[in-house]
Structure 1
Amino acid sequence: MSCLLLCHAPRPALAGLLRCCLILLLLLAALAPSPAGAAPAATPPAGVVTLLLEDDSPDQGWNDLLKSGLQRAARSTGLPVRVVVAPAHADQQAIFRQEAARSGLLIVACDNLHEVLRNNAANFRQTRFGCIDTGVRAANIMSITFADEQAAFLAGAAAAMLTADGTQSGSSPRALGWLSAYETGAVRTMLNGFLEGARLVTPDMRILHRVIGSWTDTAAARAAVQEMLDQGAAVVVLSAGRAGLGTLDLLRQRQALAIGMDADQDSLMPGTVLTSIRKRADRAVEELVTAYADDRFQGAEIITYTLENGGVDITNFASYAAAGKPLPPRLLQRCKELRMELSRGSIRLPSLRQGTLCNCR
């Protein structure tokens, strides 16, 4: 009946009816629900780079390294960049999904967001993802991780040499300290490297490890460091962000030493900070953004920053020595020798990051 009506309808009426049918079909197609779990249909804005952090407060360490690398990359590539915060207490998955839909390249660099990335990257196939400080293999993820156990090994050997030599007055040659915000795979890996380096010098060396559960709780950090000092630790690694740095004055008062983490923190309190375990997170951000800008982004690639390629290391004790503090006569030479052995693979250290992740190229 409808065909007969169409065939006998006047031409102007027929044209109007066809237009109405076409509009109705388009509306029905637009309103049709997407399959569950399907990736967003829209292609993310080309060139927009987002760095997703749990906290972007200045910390003279990890956060500042990531942000400085992002700014350098923006200047060199001309790409627009953004820093977005997904706090630990918020719905990080929702924030991640929102930013993944808005970004051409989305970079994450902390444990909680690594997990969110693994669970959600496949839903955003048009977006590229950068993963820093662990390795995740997927077609749209390029990862950069660190052989930070190598740098921690050197720091442990140096700290043990200082205490065994008696250069650090009042020190115990049997205990060193390590303060962590959280116990993660990266922390366990570095802690093991630190212990192995220390025990190369002093075989029965103990490591006093305290975890405070915060990057910002200075009171908890000070209580933990006080406890380790009372138990004989003369050198303490500060791997607890701003909370750890809040203990530097306590270490100085107790005539103990600190080892900084991530960035070069030697100048924060010269003569108290012996050296710093450096991880070039700034270079990692630059490498990811530049690869994306130059269309060289390699999905499923995992790059490791090592002593050999300059992605990890310890600082050179210059600030400590410049403050008039003596170093054991062979410390610098021995660190140089150990660095060469680690680079050549003569000393091999395990990674204790998650077993499903790979930290090699």
Structure 2
Amino acid sequence: MGKTAISRRSLLASTVALALAGMAGPVHAEDFKMGLLVPGSVAEEGWNRIAYDALKRVEKELGAKISYVELPDNPAAFEKAFRDYASHGYQVVLGHGFQFQDAALTTAEDFPDTVFLVSSSYIHEGKVIGLNTDASQPFYLMGVIAAKMGKGAGLVGGMEIPPIAHAFEGFAKGARSVDPDFPVSTVYIGSFTDASAAKEASLSMISQGADFVVPNANAAGLGVIQAAQETGDRLGTFSVYSDYTDVAPKNILGTFIADYGQGIVRIVSGIKDGTIPQSNVDFGLADKDVIKFTFNDAAARSVPEDVRKYVEEVSARIAAGEIETRTK
């Protein structure tokens, strides 16, 4: 559990009165509370840390009272934590990951005054609202770079869930927009924390000819970066969600950062003022305050200027809706 977990607090219950369907009355800052559920530790750089930083921004910028819990990968624990927050009057609870979706839907039936947000989800059912960072868009750019500069790529995912599958679909589409025959292999290691398994999968792909290996596995993704670094400067990779450039400065060609905090503050601010999103929320390259992709000039094989220019043109077309990066 997090050090501010609700089980260690004595909290007063409060409610949000409904004003209209899809609308709630505004809540005074001193009464507004937001809880966070993370699958693991917020001390880890990467996925969980992004959510924690977002929560701290809600506290600072919106004056909210905040709390978080660190949970094992256990659906029963997810539902209990959601119920604990809702029963203590939290107006917003964020489950940080697709795996929280079912527990949010079940809990929401009993707590109509709480808005349940679910990261990496396309859900919109009542007050259960998915907040998805469309990683297929920056991954499409990575695929373009890999096909322009390499001979094959390996993708290492934590689990085969829709957000990761969509990201990898985007990579493959980007690569094959450059070279229809560009080989892309995919492995799911079944864990978001096992860096050793991710490293082993990466080394296997490298031995089979991949000269790009790319992670999407939360903390486990560090194993992919380490494999690239240990194999030599010829291997290319990308930082995903957090900047790991210091781990493999010669291998990381670019970094995809989702300023999830900015997106969360935007959405939660609206909820606090009484407006609940009427659809799921999908952040993409058009949201320049949220999605950022940058190049690493210090890489051994830094992305050439002509490729960078092409990638920027592709990025603009994606943002404009001219290129579909994944199956809807």
Question: TM (normalized to structure 1)?
Answer: 0.76
Q: Is residue 78 of structure 2 the alignment partner of residue 99 of structure 1?
A: no
CA distance in structure 1 between the partners assigned to 2:212 and 2:141 by the alignment: 14
User: What's the counterpart of residue 155 of structure 2?
Assistant: 178
User: What's the counterpart of residue 26 of structure 2?
Assistant: none
Note the 1:70-219 alignment, pairs <5 A.
Answer: 70-89=55-74, 91-92=76-77, 93-102=79-88, 103-163=90-150, 173=151, 175-219=152-196
Of the structure 1 ranges 245-254 and 223-232, higher mean CA displacement relative to structure 2 is found in 245-254
User: What's the counterpart of residue 259 of structure 1?
Assistant: 238
User: What's the counterpart of residue 242 of structure 1?
Assistant: 219
Structure 1 unmatched runs, 5+: 1-41, 164-172, 353-361
Equivalent AA in structure 1 for residue 222 of structure 2: L
Give the match's secondary structure for 2:69: strand
Which of 313, 316, 322 is 1:340 aligned to?
A: 316
Give the match's secondary structure for 1:220: helix
C-alpha distance after superposition, 1:254-295 (max 9, x if no partner): 1212212123433442121111233332223222332233x1
User: What's the counterpart of residue 264 of structure 2?
Assistant: 285
CA distance in structure 2 between the partners assigned to 1:257 and 1:312 by the alignment: 25
Is 2:92–2:114's contact at 8 Å kept on the other side of the alignment?
Answer: yes
CA distance in structure 2 between the partners assigned to 1:312 and 1:230 by the alignment: 36
How far off its partner does 1:341 sit? 1.4
How far off its partner does 1:233 sit? 0.8
Question: TM (normalized to structure 2)?
Answer: 0.83
Give the match's secondary structure for 1:152: helix
Give the match's secondary structure for 2:118: strand
Give the match's secondary structure for 2:124: coil
C-alpha distance after superposition, 1:39-63 (max 9, x if no partner): xxx7459412101112124332111
Is 2:145–2:303's contact at 8 Å kept on the other side of the alignment?
Answer: no
Larger fraction in helix: 1
User: What's the counterpart of residue 31 of structure 1?
Assistant: none
User: What's the counterpart of residue 36 of structure 2?
Assistant: 51
Is 1:156–1:193's contact at 8 Å kept on the other side of the alignment?
Answer: yes
How far off its partner does 1:236 sit? 0.9
Cα 1:141–1:189, aligned 2, differ >3 Å: closer, same or farther?
same
Note the 1:322-361 alignment, pairs <5 A.
Answer: 322-323=298-299, 325-351=301-327
How far off its partner does 1:94 sit? 2.2
Is 1:275–1:314's contact at 8 Å kept on the other side of the alignment?
Answer: no
Is 2:252–2:299's contact at 8 Å kept on the other side of the alignment?
Answer: no
Is 2:253–2:302's contact at 8 Å kept on the other side of the alignment?
Answer: no
| Equivalent pairs, count | 298
Cα 1:188–1:96, aligned 2, differ >3 Å: closer, same or farther?
same
How far off its partner does 1:126 sit? 1.6
Is 1:305–1:311's contact at 8 Å kept on the other side of the alignment?
Answer: no
Is 2:263–2:290's contact at 8 Å kept on the other side of the alignment?
Answer: no
Q: Is residue 292 of structure 2 the alignment partner of residue 307 of structure 1?
A: no
Cα 1:209–1:116, aligned 2, differ >3 Å: closer, same or farther?
same
Is 1:140–1:300's contact at 8 Å kept on the other side of the alignment?
Answer: no
How far off its partner does 1:315 sit? 2.5
Q: Is residue 274 of structure 2 the alignment partner of residue 296 of structure 1?
A: yes
Give the match's secondary structure for 1:52: strand
User: What's the counterpart of residue 225 of structure 1?
Assistant: 202
How far off its partner does 1:90 sit? 6.3
How far off its partner does 1:87 sit? 1.7
Is 1:136–1:302's contact at 8 Å kept on the other side of the alignment?
Answer: yes
Is 2:33–2:65's contact at 8 Å kept on the other side of the alignment?
Answer: yes
Give the match's secondary structure for 2:240: strand
Equivalent AA in structure 1 for residue 38 of structure 2: L
CA distance in structure 2 between the partners assigned to 1:313 and 1:330 by the alignment: 22
Equivalent AA in structure 1 for residue 149 of structure 2: L
Equivalent AA in structure 2 for residue 190 of structure 1: A
Identity %: 22
Cα 1:343–1:118, aligned 2, differ >3 Å: closer, same or farther?
same
User: What's the counterpart of residue 33 of structure 1?
Assistant: none
User: What's the counterpart of residue 25 of structure 1?
Assistant: none
CA distance in structure 1 between the partners assigned to 2:63 and 2:42 by the alignment: 25
Report which of the two structures shows the higher radius of gyration computed on alpha carbons: 1
C-alpha distance after superposition, 1:300-345 (max 9, x if no partner): 332221111226645321xx32345443341111001101211222
Give the match's secondary structure for 1:84: strand
C-alpha distance after superposition, 1:171-195 (max 9, x if no partner): xx1x201011101101111111100
How far off its partner does 1:299 sit? 4.6
